[in-house]
Chain A
Amino acid sequence: MLILECPYCGVKADETELHPGGEAHLKRFGPESSDEEFEAYLFERKNRKGVHFERWRHVYGCGKWFHAARATDTLEVFGTYSAQTNAPPDDLIKKIKQKRPDFGGYE
């Protein structure tokens, strides 16, 4: 069972109180983009084994979207952070690197 702490209300929410939103920090390619860019935006995902950044929504709670960093292989949660950002915060990256020396950083 996955438990994520909502950064807006502080509830340690059980997975069943949350709604998954897929990979975090996707850049949208819209009407002016090429077919390849649009296809990549829609379908291409990192699907990492290991450190992964995701979007979640506290749907049975405050209703807000937020971000979470976790390991897909062990389910270890490194932290959660605000939705109002385009990349994971530096202190979280640092924390993950300490725990997982093989983690090369967010790209």
Chain B
Amino acid sequence: MSDPVCALNNAVFDGLVRLEETGPRGMVTLRGDLGAAAVLKSVQKAVKDATGLPVPAVRRIVLQKEYGAGWMSPDELLLMMPYDEAGRAVKAADKALKAVHSLVVNVSDARSVFRLSGAAAPEVLAKLAPVDFTAMAPDEIRRSRLAQVPAAFWRVGDDTYDVVAFRSVSSYVFELLKTAAAPGSGVGFY
């Protein structure tokens, strides 16, 4: 087996914040109608079996060590785990969802993950996304856009945010973040 390599070879940049490409990370998309009680019950078991975590509330993300479960839409969750556990997670979730209309896919290689660390992280993201970071809950996952491409981000700790985007736009996203984090470009809004 060849080793997984992330799109930008774990690129790093130091500016207003530290930027790191942190992949590869295991990511599984789970689709099923969370508003239907019968489906939700199976989804709860699927998320538990795949990540050990509960189903997150609307627009929330549950994180524990290397595992995560994020609310993406009324019928979609994003599950995260170590890269080499994604296959097992898909099998476990699929098994729990056998009886209901659902879909589970390993999307680890379709995504890139970036970490922003530093007090200016909200400011760097706010230059690129139409998001009010003062209104963002500590455990919120926000889907939005970074300039011209879709992205999702959430807080992983004080002054630290993770950003996930499509792998095909990895270099675009990293260049954007580098520009927004260029030394001397601070705005001081937050």
Contacts and interface: CB of A to CB of B under 8 A. Distances in A.
B58 interface: yes
Contact of A10 (B58, B76, B130, B132): B58
Interface residues of A, number: 13
A17 interface: yes
A66 to B, nearest CB: 11
A21 to B, nearest CB: 17
Contact of B74 (A11, A12, A60, A64): A64
B145 A10 contact: no
B59 A11 contact: yes
Interface in A2-48: 8-12, 14, 16-17
A9 B58 CA distance: 7
Interface residues of B, number: 15
B73 A64 contact: yes
B73 A62 contact: yes
A61 interface: yes
Most B CB within 10 A of own CB, among A9, A10, A16, A64: A9
Given A9-B59, A60-B143, A60-B144, A14 B74 contact: no
B76 to A, nearest CB: 8
B60 to A, nearest CB: 11
B143 A61 contact: yes
B130 A62 contact: no
Interface of A: 8-12, 14, 16-17, 60-64
9 contacts: A8-B74, A9-B143, A11-B142, A14-B130, A17-B144, A60-B150, A61-B144, A62-B72, A62-B76
Given A8-B73, A8-B74, 8 more contacts: A9-B59, A9-B71, A9-B73, A10-B59, A16-B130, A17-B130, A60-B144, A60-B150
